[in-house]
Amino acid sequence: MPQITLPDGSVKSFDHSVSAFDVAMTIGERLAKACVGCLIDEELCDLNTVIESDCTLSLVTEKTRDKQDDPNALFLLRHSTAHVMAEAIQRLIPGAMLVYGPPLENSFYYDIKFPDDRPLKDGDFEAIEKEMTAIIKENRPFTRYELEYSEGIRKIEAEGSKYKLDNAHRAHEAGSLSLTFYATGEPGKDWEDLCRGPHLPSTGRIGAFKIMSLASSYWHGDENSDRLTRVYGTSFFNKKDLKAHLERLEEAKKRDHRVLGKKLRLFAIDDAVGQGLILWTPNGSIVRKELQNFISAELTKQGYSEVFTPHIGKLDLYRTSGHFPYYADSQFPPLIERDHLVELSEEGCSCAQLSNNMSTGQIEGFMLKPMNCPHHIKVFDSQPHSYKDLPVRLAEFGTVYRWEQSGELNGMTRVRGFTQDDAHLFCTPDQIGAELQGCLSLVKIIFDVLGMIDYRVRVGLRDPDSGKYTGDPANWDKAEQACREAAQTLGVPFTEEPGEAAFYGPKIDFIVKDVIGREWQLGTVQVDYNLPERFNLSYIGADNEKHRPVMIHRAPFGSMERFIGVLIEHFAGAFPVWLAPEQVRVLPISEKSNDYAAEVLAQLKAVGIRATSDTHDQRIQAKIKNGSEMKIPYLLIVGPRDAEAKAVSVRAFGTEKDLGSMPLDEFIAAIANEYESKGTTTVKERFATATV
């Protein structure tokens, strides 16, 4: 006798078991037909799930009542589309073994092991899509059935897929006593798959789909395990939504920092220089310099000392820090002294021997620095410190080099040489809390000034099962607790993630998404008890005894390269005045106004505004178009009327029409103010307030 509570609080009583679909029918046939699944006691289930006992029931329709996408409905849709795709692929390539096919936020994939002699190619998409269309047209129901565990295992063994067998074992280990299968149609007759579900009622509900791309993946995500082929696709309930999704992807591409970087001439990468090595062109250099000046001013306020250190250090330095030889794979190879190299090559020394001798310290050399900490530690250690001197805060825009795998390089966001806005704070254990908060506030100041509100905070802890973390567990516990407490003071939600710590200590990271949804770590604050230990650092306490300082590593931007890459996308290339490489462009209406344009330009430059004038032999419309495409904050149209009145006609980026005319000296004061205040007051606002 199930009593079913609906979301509006009403209760429906039945004297027999019913399916969710039946319940929907008692409310209305139209509703029932619009349903694709249901939530029973908050758990997403098939629409035809039979309800035997009291529960809450919420029906899942294609769209919510206010016509929005329903994440649960899309989950069912994409999971079901993955099944249809898998069936189509197996029809086309019978030896293909299925592994795992989950839905994602905007898409789905299926990991598949293809026979070595028949890999999947991009050219197969059309044939697969054709098969899928046929399966959808047949409108076959997704039919769930359960087998007792050992019986299910026999069935899977008979099919001969070690991957599915592995999935079944895992389900069993997780406590499942039976195995569930889904047939696309009739069990025993139609295609089926070991699957937890749930699914749509039938294939016909898949309105629109597209196979997107192929990638290689690893079984269990393990690089040393079997290589699988991952087939990505996406689906929607109707063609219009699919089209809108594809258009969004196209739009996102336009604000990609790699596209804008070229168009706005912000940076370049040249093969002859090397992969992942950024050439900062004049425009990009302006953005970088403005950001550096901004943060430097904040550092001065917070009592930091700026230092400069070289780009290389001896191998021994990194033996002490623990970077060499343990992280040798992710670094540029060492620089070996010339005489040594000659000697070794004359002796016929093999590469393996060379590498061995370097690890053991028999051969000395230098390394391009992968991080700045060892150098800063040596700066700290260059003189004795009293507890009264602490905290010592050493800051440097330090350039580091790391040998990232070629497939990981990405525009400015993943590079092989980059400059961190780095600092290392040496403090007493008592000072950690306050210092961490100071560091976090710096990150917040940056995000606030730039209007970056869409970020998440991660507290990276050590993974107790991993051996890569060095140091005393008791210190780790203290450091992790300090990070947790500091993160709590931020006033924003954060997640604690084991396995995300640095090898020497836990950290608090600020993570932002790029235009295509990839996450990038920007600002970071890390607590470190280990390196002070390794380098035997000390300060003299009030008791006249030596004490060990604690180190805090922090970089509010993370790296200039990655930060500016993300920033370009954040602003879609339309930088605010204080960051814009070209802040103002003067557009004379014709050659006759060139003289006045030159006068305006000279006055702008005199107050430090980055301005140019466009004296090309073009009409004003073309000049406006060019200026707008370069996303210049202000275009000043100047013609005879303006020259007469000693005024300028102002057109701000992002406004359809011009703002109107303004006396030249007033504009200059206003733009200088906008620059100085980092946009707290703007030229645009002056016009707004003038009209009120």
Annotated catalytic residues are 373, 402, 420, 422, 424, 507, 553
Residue number with CB closer to RNA (191 or 232) = 232
> Does residue 94 interact with RNA by CB under 7 A?
no
- Pick from 26, 64, 139, 330: which binds RNA (CB under 7 A)? 330
Smallest distance from RNA to CB 643, Å: 7
Cα 574 from Cα 580, distance rounded (Å): 8
- Pick from 147, 214, 242, 490: which binds RNA (CB under 7 A)? 214
Q: Read off the DSSP letter of residue 203.
A: G
Residue number with CB closer to RNA (200 or 683) = 683
Smallest distance from RNA to CB 330, Å: 2
Cα 364 from Cα 376, distance rounded (Å): 21
151-210 binders of RNA (CB under 7 A) = none
Residue 357, token pair as written in the block: 């001798």
> Does residue 217 interact with RNA by CB under 7 A?
yes
DSSP assignment of 377-419 equals HHHHTTS--BGGGPPEEEEEEEEEE----GGG-BTTTB-SEEE
> Does residue 121 interact with RNA by CB under 7 A?
yes
Cα 75 from Cα 81, distance rounded (Å): 10
Residue number with CB closer to RNA (100 or 426) = 100
Smallest distance from RNA to CB 47, Å: 31
Cα 73 from Cα 61, distance rounded (Å): 6
Show the binding pattern over residues 584-623: x = contacts RNA (CB under 7 A), - = does not.
-----xxxx-----------------------xxxxxxx-
Smallest distance from RNA to CB 118, Å: 11
> Does residue 275 interact with RNA by CB under 7 A?
yes
Query: Would you say 217 and 99 are in contact if contact means Cβ atoms under 8 Å apart?
Result: no
> Does residue 221 interact with RNA by CB under 7 A?
yes
Cα 636 from Cα 648, distance rounded (Å): 6
Cα 255 from Cα 515, distance rounded (Å): 7
Q: Which of 281, 532, 273 is nearest to 391 (CA)?
A: 532
Residue number with CB closer to RNA (379 or 502) = 502
CA distances from 384 to 10, 227, 376 (A): 75, 55, 14
Q: In what order do the strands lie in the sheet with 192-194?
A: 142-148, 178-184, 192-194
Smallest distance from RNA to CB 442, Å: 18
- Pick from 432, 443, 482, 502: which binds RNA (CB under 7 A)? 502
Residue number with CB closer to RNA (371 or 550) = 371
Smallest distance from RNA to CB 239, Å: 22
> Does residue 545 interact with RNA by CB under 7 A?
no
> Does residue 256 interact with RNA by CB under 7 A?
yes
Residues 232, 567, 489, 388: is their CA dihedral positive or negative? positive
Residue number with CB closer to RNA (244 or 516) = 516
Stretch that binds RNA, among 188-196, 325-333, 340-348, 438-446 (CB under 7 A): 325-333
Among left, alpha and beta (phi > 0; psi -120 to 50; other), residue 269 is beta
Cα 81 from Cα 234, distance rounded (Å): 8
- Pick from 73, 132, 206, 269: which binds RNA (CB under 7 A)? 269
Q: In what order do the strands lie in the sheet with 365-368?
A: 312-314, 365-368, 335-336
Smallest distance from RNA to CB 50, Å: 37
Residue number with CB closer to RNA (114 or 426) = 114
- Pick from 140, 205, 230, 570: which binds RNA (CB under 7 A)? 230
627-686 binders of RNA (CB under 7 A) = 628-629, 635, 637-642, 649, 651, 656-658, 661
